[in-house]
Amino acid sequence: MASPLSVEKKPLHVPDLGDMSQVLKDGLLKNFETVETEVVDCPDLTQKPWSLAAPGICGGNRLADVGGPPYLIPRPTQEKIGRYDMAEIAKDCDLPGGFVFGAGAGSSRIKGVNCEMMPNNLTSCEDKRLSYTAKVGDTGSDWVLEEYPHNEFSLLANLAICEGKAGKVIRVTASSRHGGKNFVTAMRLALANRYGDKAVGVGGVFQIENGSAKLHIMPDFSTDPLKSDKDVEDWLLFYNANSPLTCLSTFISHDPGLDLRVEHTHCFSHHGQGGHYHYDVTPKDVVYQGFFVPCEWIYRVDRPVVTHTIGRD
């Protein structure tokens, strides 16, 4: 039996939703021509195009940073392959049965190959495991998006965990990007600039409703050690994915001393494309719409003892 995972946690600053909504709007207007933000009741996110495993993203909101890039780079840590379980992580984060979504690495023990994971599981219900994986195809230059009805994952993940209930959320729309920051980074930096040393963590889901976005997919594990960001970039498969894309996102305004990945977003679609989101590649045409909620806690699970900053883009 595997030994228990180490768990650290810290409280996060939870801003007033109205204030946070305005902060996000002000920050996004530095990068987008048209921006609207408002506090609304969360719609039913089980419906298309969202297709989430729970109707809402509210209730006991928390973030979990599990493992991390040091378990993948320079070489994968073998004992971390298939080591994690979403239902167990929810328990470790004091929310058993919680709704888990975000970005991580699927289990090669299940898929037979290293892959991106789009976690989207209500861990209290076996028939609500609606996650996806994206892997590199047989040619080495194509991709395969597949349903992934499992809780097991490997190496790393950045997760939002909640009760999956309806509640008040911040609705954000942005279009026609003119700045150099992507949608998520623009929001994260806006929070950092407003709240300073008060760490604000956010979980949310957004749609790229129009335009295209640059994504990557991890191939199978590299036979050579990845020693730099350039090595990682050369190893990854990059491609431009078409809208609509459903994006599962976590971000935190700054790292409060837990060796965190401060933002991480993975996308899936109903037309066979998905992966790790970088930025849109059609700035004039892009349209984003999303729903976001601040989190009460950040949990650091199985923090690597030996760390580095490679591969965190």
Q: Are 113 and 90 in contact (CB under 8 A)?
A: no
Neighbouring C-beta atoms of residue 212, cutoff 10 Å: 18
Give the H/E segment covering residue 291.
Answer: strand 287-294
Mind listing the pLDDT tens digit for each residue in 133-188?
999 999 999 999 999 999 999 999 999 999 999 999 999 999 999 999 999 999 99
Look at residue 313 in the predicted model and tell me its pLDDT: 86
* Residues 49-76: tens digit of each pLDDT: 999 999 999 999 999 999 999 999 999 9
Closest to 201 (Cα-Cα) out of 72, 36, 64: 64
Residue 235 three-state SS: helix
75-88 confidence digits (pLDDT tens): 999 999 999 999 99
User: Using H for helix, E for strand and C for coil, what is the string for 261-289?
Assistant: CCEEEEEECCCCCCEEEEEECCCCCCEEE
Give the tokens for residue 263.
């933002």
- Closest to 99 measured CA to CA, from 57, 66, 127, 63: 57
Residue 227 pLDDT exceeds 80: yes
Q: Are strands 120-122 and 99-106 parallel, antiparallel or unpaired?
A: antiparallel
Mean per-residue pLDDT for 94-119?
98
* Residue pLDDT, tens place only, 108-121: 999 999 999 999 99
Location of structure tokens 């349903």 = 147
Q: What are phi and psi of 20, to 5 degrees?
A: -65, -40
pLDDT (0 to 100) of residue 3: 75
Q: Which residue has the tokens 């090669």?
A: 108
In whole angstroms, give the CA distance from residue 291 to residue 295.
Answer: 13
Q: Counting runs of H as helices and runs of E as strands, what totals does the chain give? A: 5, 19
Dist CA 242 CA 222 (whole Å): 28
Which runs of consecutive H residues, i.e. helices, occur in the chain?
A: 17-28, 86-92, 108-111, 183-195, 229-235
> Over the chain, what is the mean pLDDT?
97
pLDDT surpassing 90 at residue 129: yes
Q: Which residue has the higher pLDDT, 110 or 1?
A: 110
pTM score above 0.75: yes
- Burial pattern 136-168, b for ≥16 Cβ within 10 A else e, equals beeeeeebbbeebebbbbbbbbbbbbbbbebee
Residue 43, SS3 per DSSP? coil
- Which residue from 106, 98, 178 is spatially nearest to 148, judged by alpha carbons? 106
The half-sphere exposure of 280 on its side-chain side, counting CA atoms within 13 A, is 32
